[in-house]
């Protein structure tokens, strides 16, 4: 799907315009999946976001342990955040 986006979108930069774009696909999508995403899906999401002019990614929450089941992105442990940071071009 990414390959079919217009070049003007893929090559645009928001930095000079004062507008920052945030993607919260995983954070909001977690309401339907209990933040339980396959690691491969998260890696593919990060790769796709690296190709787009998105400035910030919200990937989940930092919750304390609870009785309610939450997947990895419901807690976003440091090890997961380090993995995402390593593979993401969003370094701000």
Delimit the domains of the chain by residue range. 21-87
Name beta bridge partners: 57.
Answer: 23
Task: Please choose, from the candidates 67, 9, 90, 76, the residue with its C-alpha nearest in 3D space to the C-alpha of residue 36.
Answer: 76
pLDDT in tens, 33-58: 999 999 999 999 999 999 999 999 99
Q: Across residues 78-92, what is the average pLDDT?
A: 90
pLDDT over 70, % of the chain: 80
Q: Is the pLDDT of residue 16 over 70?
A: no
**Cα atoms in the 13 Å half-sphere on the side-chain side of 85:** 9
pLDDT over 90, % of the chain: 68
């Amino acid at each position: 799907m990414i390959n079919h986006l217009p070049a003007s979108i893929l090559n645009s930069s928001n930095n000079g315009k004062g507008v920052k774009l945030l993607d919260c696909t995983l954070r909001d999508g977690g309401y339907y999946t209990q933040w339980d995403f396959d690691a491969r899906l998260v890696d593919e999401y990060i790769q796709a976001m690296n190709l787009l002019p998105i400035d910030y990614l919200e990937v989940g929450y930092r919750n304390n342990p609870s009785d309610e089941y939450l997947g990895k992105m419901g807690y976003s442990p440091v090890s997961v955040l380090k993995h995402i940071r390593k593979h993401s071009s969003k370094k701000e």
